Chain A
């Protein structure tokens, strides 16, 4: 049969020579290899202290956005909940009262907004569905927790800090990621 490639090698089945049967040269060779590995660069990083940079398109924990005046963008239209393939998002809408114009951008807002991080698959469809620029996936991911209910993130966990009252926390939460349009 004609060989398809020229890479095939005949396996040698000769009995071992005396030097090979002494094993020691082979053992020394192996030990040299393991010794050499002591000076190799380690691919592991000390995780909690050092983190690897995420790619700009990384989809992590959600944040609920505010506008420049610190008003919540979300109008509780429910499009994100509809778009969510894992049905992780629930919300309750409420009407903005007099005097709450500095809190909510439009007349309707989300009184309750919950995402179950155990159900969420971080696909980003909520982000795409949102017409109000209100929900984004950030660069962090959900930390470990001891209880299931700890993974249900409410509005207080999701809302981005107010850019007017806490500009530093806002900048930190916004992150330095490249805006992909």
Chain B
């Protein structure tokens, strides 16, 4: 039974993949727009409002501009790798979406279709693997540019992501100890019981560490040292132009959206409706409607995180490199270790009924 793959399954998964890829692209597009708007509003400006109503066509105009710009490949660059870099960045950014449960399931054509491309039992490990591959795009692209500043940006990106991934992983271990599973779907389902069963309640410190590390992983301010434009010109994408530059910038926004999605699934109950018993509501209004509400709510939660990303970007200045490393290794890592040990001790005592 496990290997009997029906045509319907393939079609269903293909549709789901197309929808997820398309929607994350569109969301990334509008995240660039939102970024500019949020920046403007926080700086008492108006932001883009010329292209289309309220400037809503601005991301289309930006994309067109990037497509029409001249594509420059530096003479002394390593051409294949130069092209591979942005492709890899984009690819890995898109791949994360495969394991995120966007909703519970819908019922069409007598089939229960889960709103998740792949419910693999090591979901969160897969996310980690793919995210760490994302740095290869930046590394390869920056090295292939044959430019000192690019290389410096790439090195910064690599060391930063490695440093923060450690703390992130350990913060996650504490979460996984409480949930007992690596599957994102199960983690979300566990959080659906009560409003207080959201993991943010169980793991506030873990969430804080995870959040900070997510900022660092996405190369967002205050951790945007790889593209520190006042030190490194453009950082790792100095030599890039046209849509290859667009891919790098786009990958950043997709990463941002997907890390928001991961954080929502891990800590904020995923598609769970707070203060509502989802199961009884599903019986009342039907599976498809509840799936719609669930997915919408998931996107709302993710949008809140996207707003947080932008909010922080326009508030906090960039770290100095030694401050970045100090924060990562001397503060976050010990804190994450402490969190892990404390959680472990708590679980152990809990299982022992508080007997030593």
Q: Tell me whether B42 and A30 are in contact (CB under 8 A).
A: no
Q: Determine, out of A34-42, A100-108, A114-122, the stretch whose residues face the partner at the interface.
A: A34-42
Known: A27-B316, A30-B316. A44 touches B311 (CB 8 A): no
In the assembled complex, how far is the CB of residue B53 from the closest CB belonging to chain A, in whole angstroms? 13
Q: Which residues of A have CB within 8 Å of B45?
A: 42, 44
Q: Tell me whether A31 and B44 are in contact (CB under 8 A).
A: no
Q: Tell me whether A27 and B46 are in contact (CB under 8 A).
A: no
Q: Which residues of A have CB within 8 Å of B41?
A: 37-38
Q: Tell me whether B315 and A34 are in contact (CB under 8 A).
A: yes
In the assembled complex, how far is the CB of residue A48 from the closest CB belonging to chain B, in whole angstroms? 10
- What is the number of residues of chain A that contact chain B, defined by CB distance less than 8 Å? 14
Is the CB of B230 closer than 8 A to any CB of chain A? no
Which residues between 36 and 62 of chain A lie within 8 Å of chain B, taking CB atoms? 37-38, 40-44, 46
Q: Which residues of B have CB within 8 Å of A42?
A: 44-46
Q: Beta-carbon contacts of B298-330 to A below 8 Å, as 1s and 0s?
A: 000000000000011011100000000000000
Number of A-B contacts (CB under 8 A): 32
The residue on A at minimum CB distance from B317 is: A30
The residue on A at minimum CB distance from B327 is: A23
Q: Beta-carbon contacts of A60-84 to B below 8 Å, as 1s and 0s?
A: 0000000000000000000000000
The residue on B at minimum CB distance from A33 is: B315
In the assembled complex, how far is the CB of residue A33 from the closest CB belonging to chain B, in whole angstroms? 8
Partner of A30 from the list B43, B46, B49, B315 (CB cut-off 8 Å) is B315
A42 vs B44: C-alpha distance when bound (angstroms): 5
Q: Which residues of B have CB within 8 Å of A30?
A: 315-316
Q: Tell me whether A34 and B311 are in contact (CB under 8 A).
A: yes
Q: Which residues of B have CB within 8 Å of A38?
A: 41-42
Q: Which residues of B have CB within 8 Å of A27?
A: 312, 315-316
The residue on B at minimum CB distance from A44 is: B46
A30 vs B43: C-alpha distance when bound (angstroms): 13
Q: Tell me whether A34 and B314 are in contact (CB under 8 A).
A: yes
In the assembled complex, how far is the CB of residue B111 from the closest CB belonging to chain A, in whole angstroms? 45
Q: Which residues of A have CB within 8 Å of B312?
A: 27, 31
Which residues between 160 and 209 of chain B lie within 8 Å of chain A, taking CB atoms? none
The residue on A at minimum CB distance from B39 is: A34
The residue on B at minimum CB distance from A30 is: B315
Partner of A43 from the list B44, B311, B316 (CB cut-off 8 Å) is B44
A35 vs B315: C-alpha distance when bound (angstroms): 9
A44 vs B41: C-alpha distance when bound (angstroms): 11
Partner of A37 from the list B42, B46, B49, B316 (CB cut-off 8 Å) is B42
In the assembled complex, how far is the CB of residue B206 from the closest CB belonging to chain A, in whole angstroms? 15
Q: Which residues of B have CB within 8 Å of A41?
A: 44
A30 vs B315: C-alpha distance when bound (angstroms): 6
Give the most central of B42, B43, B311, B312: most A CB within 10 Å: B42
Q: Tell me whether A37 and B44 are in contact (CB under 8 A).
A: yes
In the assembled complex, how far is the CB of residue A131 from the closest CB belonging to chain B, in whole angstroms? 47
In the assembled complex, how far is the CB of residue A87 from the closest CB belonging to chain B, in whole angstroms? 38
A31 vs B312: C-alpha distance when bound (angstroms): 7
Known: A27-B315, A27-B316. A34 touches B42 (CB 8 A): yes
Partner of A46 from the list B42, B43, B46 (CB cut-off 8 Å) is B46
Q: Beta-carbon contacts of A11-37 to B below 8 Å, as 1s and 0s?
A: 000000000000000010011011101
Q: Which residues of A have CB within 8 Å of B44?
A: 37, 40-44
In the assembled complex, how far is the CB of residue B139 from the closest CB belonging to chain A, in whole angstroms? 29
In the assembled complex, how far is the CB of residue B305 from the closest CB belonging to chain A, in whole angstroms? 14
Q: Which residues of B have CB within 8 Å of A31?
A: 311-312, 315
Q: Which residues of B have CB within 8 Å of A34?
A: 42, 311, 314-315
Q: Which residues of B have CB within 8 Å of A40?
A: 44
Q: Which residues of A have CB within 8 Å of B46?
A: 42, 44, 46
Q: Which residues of A have CB within 8 Å of B311?
A: 31, 34-35
Question: Which residues of B are at the interface with A, using a C-beta cutoff of 8 A?
Answer: 41-46, 49, 311-312, 314-316
Apart from A34-B315, A44-B46, 11 more pairs, CB < 8 Å:
A27-B315, A31-B311, A33-B315, A34-B42, A34-B311, A37-B41, A38-B41, A40-B44, A42-B46, A43-B44, A44-B44
**What are 30 A-to-B residue pairs whose CB atoms are below 8 Å?**
A27-B312, A27-B315, A27-B316, A30-B315, A30-B316, A31-B311, A31-B312, A31-B315, A33-B315, A34-B42, A34-B311, A34-B314, A34-B315, A35-B42, A35-B311, A37-B41, A37-B42, A37-B43, A37-B44, A38-B41, A38-B42, A40-B44, A41-B44, A42-B45, A42-B46, A43-B44, A44-B44, A44-B46, A46-B46, A46-B49
Question: Which residues of A are at the interface with B, using a C-beta cutoff of 8 A?
Answer: 27, 30-31, 33-35, 37-38, 40-44, 46
Question: Which 8 pairs of residues, A with B, have the shortest CB-CB distance?
Answer: A34-B315, A34-B42, A30-B315, A31-B315, A38-B41, A44-B46, A42-B44, A37-B42
